[in-house]
Structure 1
Amino acid sequence: MAFPLFTVSQLSLFFQVTGGSGFIGYHILSQLLNNRYFVRAAARGKKIELLKKALSANYSSDRFEVIEVADITSGDLSQYLKGVDGIIHAAAPLPGRVDVETAFKISIEGSLHILREAVHAKVPRVVVTSSIATFPLPQGPFGANDLAVVEFAEKHTEIDVTLAGPAFTYGPFAPGFECFLPEPDLSALSTNESIYALLRPGNTRIPIAPGAIDVRDAARAHILALKFPPSTEVGPKRFAIVSPHRSSYRDALTIIAKERPELKDRLTDATLAREWSLYTFPVEWQKIDDVLGLKADSFILWDKTALDTVDSLVHAEGLWKEKGFEVPPLFHHL
């Protein structure tokens, strides 16, 4: 395996990312590269070449590398972690998208294996994507993962570990992500599936998701976690990350109808969108500001998230049309 040859004039921080072919993970890769960091992305199977293609479309190949890790839960990763300044472990399954056994294996065994290998390789910092569904009371495989990571961090203070739990995540796909959307496929849309459902006039099943975050802010939180004070100075770092802005589907439908009139006839009836008693989650804003440097007034507004997401989805539809697919696709289970 040939690794990038970094010269003295190119000195910069060097990070490894797992889950880089995912919705949040690819944004993390993009933001790291946009900030001139060097990146090694772990992938497996067909996603290796897809990730190379996606990144190559926008970034110089001497700043990133895609390596094959067939099983994130086992195997010697020392050769891949040599010289790495930090790891972002974003290979986290979405609740409800995989069976419990698979979720348990990926969440707990994957996280613990990455952490053990990080200790052996003397990687100073690791950020693990958590699930906001586990806040405040962990339950199921996702909560068990958080507890396992916290216990490991308490025993291995030689590395700094942060758990970052983004809320329901929406937003545009990062440039190049269209490589992972070759054809209409709901699962490939990740949580943007919920926004795509709003582009179906006959849809009556609008999900309940009080509390959201723009994917660009979620990625930013992960990267900031690599930079700020270690746990030995600020205490355990386990954060639920959610936008402070009201995240209403009814509001989203209203703003889309106003700003994208060409889509008005495609939209779900806004009156069918439920009003919620809560539109965000109470989180430790002061601690998030102090430790991550992530200020409440820096989050992307919900209107922008909704519009940018729809624009990104319509762009994906255009690519599908060029290939001869039916758009919008008939996803009867929405």
Structure 2
Amino acid sequence: MQERVLVTGANGFIASHITKLLLEQGFAVRGTVRNPSNLEAVGFLKALPSAGNLELVSADLNDEGAFSSYTEDVDYVIHAASPFFIDVEDVERDLVRPAVRGTVSALEAAAKSTRVKRVILTSSMAAVTDAPDDRVLTEADWNEKSSAKRNPYYYSKTQAERAAWAFINRDNIGFDLVVINPFMVAGPSLSTGISTSNQLFIDIANGQYPALMALNWGFVDVRDVAQAHVRAMTAPNAKGRYICSAGNMDMHQITDIMRSAGVRGKLPFFDMSGQLGTAAMKLLSHFQPSGIGSYLRTHLGSVPHFENSKIRRDLGIEFRDVEETICDTVNDLIEWGHLSV
């Protein structure tokens, strides 16, 4: 019997790559989207090779029991749907509630099925740390600092993952849970839509960053993230959380790659990444929207350090080089017309 996978938010940046990979590997996929009839949003999924094994159904994270009718005949659930906004009007309404409710709904739906073997949750490094420091982060680390006022997106991801582990620790749960915690996910998109992560490159080109700042990100390729989800789904020894990141790159390096690719626009030249510049940018961050300002104050001048041996060992993930990922991302954004050359 062909195994079936429920993928939530199937037309999202990460989830669409997961869906594509599952279809390529012979799985049947039931993907949830807001409106299966909206070809502008889901047409690219229906055009995938092996899309004959793809079924799209309607679900909304804010609805109670959003996934309850979709798990009876599925073997695995990959819950990838979650809101991703740095700055929102109402943190509880726009971030925390849909993130937690969607996660719990996916788990409740899986618990109603006698067939589901495992649930894979797309979490984030935001649930591991609120701000990089000198520590080397591992799967044992948890974000203890974020709140509705401090890095609210990070807070929503932490709350959602904690809710997932609280659910799985109940009695008589007939499946296990594996969590993927990626850093900044970049790479080529399967659709014309722009992911929040890839928006970073557009913002740099459009002058949203007036200077080169002391910002350094952990990056991972979306194709490797998809591979991690699919392998975590079936690997017998997959267990617990997995930090999913390949390496680091700072704003100087990203801007250099964009210039080398011929990107035109308002790429920053003025260097404010030194100690005095960083102090000045932190002061100026108080004049930014609250979510952006909080992010800048907790990340400027910090470099993330992490350990990814567990995912390489248990799931056999060999990460693409970060420079390759960033080059592929920039070239893809050029091809879609999001960056000018």
Bin of the TM-score, shorter chain as denominator length: 0.7 to 0.9
The residue that corresponds to 2:54 in the other structure is 64
SS in 2 for 1:150: helix
Q: Identify if the C-alpha distance between structure 1 residues 290 and 302 changes in structure 2 by more than 3 Å, giving closer, same or farther.
A: closer
The residue that corresponds to 2:255 in the other structure is 253
The residue that corresponds to 2:100 in the other structure is 108
- Aligned identity (percent) is 24
Residue 313 of structure 2: which of 283, 290, 311 is its match?
290
The residue that corresponds to 1:165 in the other structure is 181
How far apart are 1:118 and its partner, in Å? 0.3
The residue that corresponds to 2:278 in the other structure is none
Q: Which runs of 5+ in 2 are unaligned?
A: 129-141, 147-154, 275-299
Write the letter of the residue equivalent to 2:12.
G
Q: Which runs of 5+ in 1 are unaligned?
A: 1-10, 182-187, 319-326, 329-334
The residue that corresponds to 1:213 in the other structure is 220
More helix by share: 1
Q: How does 1:57-206 map to 2 (within 5 A)?
A: 57-71=47-61, 73-75=63-65, 77-98=67-88, 99-101=90-92, 102-122=94-114, 123-135=116-128, 136-138=142-144, 139=146, 140-155=155-170, 156-174=172-190, 177-178=191-192, 181=193, 188-200=194-206, 203-204=209-210
Does residue 272 in structure 1 map to residue 292 in structure 2? no
Q: Identify if the C-alpha distance between structure 1 residues 56 and 105 changes in structure 2 by more than 3 Å, giving closer, same or farther.
A: same
Check conservation: 2:212, 2:270, Cα contact below 8 A: no
Normalized against structure 1, the TM-score is what? 0.76
Write the letter of the residue equivalent to 1:253.
T
How far apart are 1:293 and its partner, in Å? 2.6
The residue that corresponds to 2:322 in the other structure is 302
How far apart are 1:73 and its partner, in Å? 4.1
Write the letter of the residue equivalent to 1:127.
I
Check conservation: 1:242, 1:280, Cα contact below 8 A: no
Residue 9 of structure 2: which of 19, 22, 33 is its match?
19
Distance in 2 between the 1:280 and 1:292 partners? 23
Q: Identify if the C-alpha distance between structure 1 residues 200 and 50 changes in structure 2 by more than 3 Å, giving closer, same or farther.
A: closer
The residue that corresponds to 2:45 in the other structure is 55
SS in 2 for 1:74: coil
Write the letter of the residue equivalent to 2:245.
V
Distance in 2 between the 1:221 and 1:75 partners? 27
Check conservation: 1:170, 1:213, Cα contact below 8 A: yes
Residue 305 of structure 2: which of 259, 273, 281 is its match?
281
Q: Identify if the C-alpha distance between structure 1 residues 24 and 71 changes in structure 2 by more than 3 Å, giving closer, same or farther.
A: closer
Write the letter of the residue equivalent to 1:242.
S
Write the letter of the residue equivalent to 1:227.
T
- What is the CA deviation profile of residues 67-87 of structure 1, one whole-angstrom value per residue up to 9, with x for unaligned ones? 112456423745421221101
Write the letter of the residue equivalent to 1:282.
F
How far apart are 1:192 and its partner, in Å? 0.5
How far apart are 1:253 and its partner, in Å? 2.6
Distance in 2 between the 1:89 and 1:202 partners? 32
Distance in 2 between the 1:251 and 1:141 partners? 30
- What is the CA deviation profile of residues 253-274 of structure 1, one whole-angstrom value per residue up to 9, with x for unaligned ones? 323433x2x43x5462456374
SS in 2 for 1:126: strand
Aligned residues: 288
Distance in 2 between the 1:159 and 1:19 partners? 21
Check conservation: 1:21, 1:47, Cα contact below 8 A: no
